[in-house]
Amino acid sequence: MVDGEQPIHFANATLGSERHICAFFHSSDEEYRVLLPFIREGIERGEKAFHIVDPQLMDDHFHRLRDAGIDTEATSQRGQLVVKRWEDAYLRDGHFDQDRMLALIEEVLSAGPKEAYLLTRLVAHMEWALEDFPGVNDLVEYETRLNFILPKYKDPVI
């Protein structure tokens, strides 16, 4: 826990000050079995949720959130839930630009407190990296650089 805030639970564990998690799943069902309690906990606490998902799976993502008891319409309307497609985050202009993505992450995490959210729980699906997009070879460097940025924030990033 950081600064006396409520514990953050992920995959039957409580997160400490290290909150950048790389999680691998065998299936979508397993992924959501792990992610949904984490997402729901944040929504119920009034924290912000920022998700980046495969555009082909947007409907499925919202469906699973709703099935978990999350009112996606109300949370989206008030800005508590923001769901972006890969093309609106990682792959703007059809390629991965690590500098632009790092700037987006900082923008999202720094905006939370300005919008009165104690924390932002950022969930980013990364399957796009398995495809042959321009810039994908910069992913390891991006993740390394991200590890220098995230300690400035207490927000969990999965």
Is 75 domain-assigned? yes
> 35 lies in which domain range?
9-152
From 100, 149, 105, select the one nearest 124 (Cα to Cα).
Answer: 105
CA angle 57, 126, 22 (to 5 degrees): 125
Is 68 inside any structural domain?
Answer: yes
C-beta separation of 78 from 151 below 8 A: no
pLDDT grade for 52, boundaries at 50, 70 and 90:
very high
Residue type, position 135, single letter: G
DSSP state of 60: H
**In this structure, is residue 85 part of a structural domain?**
yes
Query: Residue 125 falls within a domain, yes or no?
Result: yes
Tens-digit pLDDT profile for residues 134-150: 888 998 999 999 999 99
Cα 158 to the chain's mean position, in Å?
Answer: 6
Question: What is the crossing angle of helices 28-44 and 58-67, to 10°?
Answer: 60
Note the pTM of the prediction, 2 decimals: 0.92
Tens of pLDDT, residue by residue over 56-66, are: 999 999 999 99
CA neighbor of 117 nearest in space, from 82, 144, 158: 82
Is there a domain that residue 32 lies in? yes
pLDDT of residue 132: 85
Between 1 and 36, name the one with better pLDDT: 36
What is the number of domains present in the chain? Answer: 1
Q: Tell me, yes or no, whether 1 lies in a domain.
A: no
Asked if 112 and 155 count as a contact pair (C-beta separation under 8 A), the reply is: yes
Rounded Cα distance, 76 and 73, in Å:
5
Q: What pLDDT sits at residue 1? A: 45
| pLDDT given at position 131 | 85
Confidence of residue 3 (pLDDT cuts 50, 70, 90): low
What is the chain's mean pLDDT, rounded? 93
Torsion of CA 49, 124, 21, 128, to 10 degrees: 180
User: Would residue 146 count as lying in a domain?
Assistant: yes
pLDDT at 86 over 80: yes
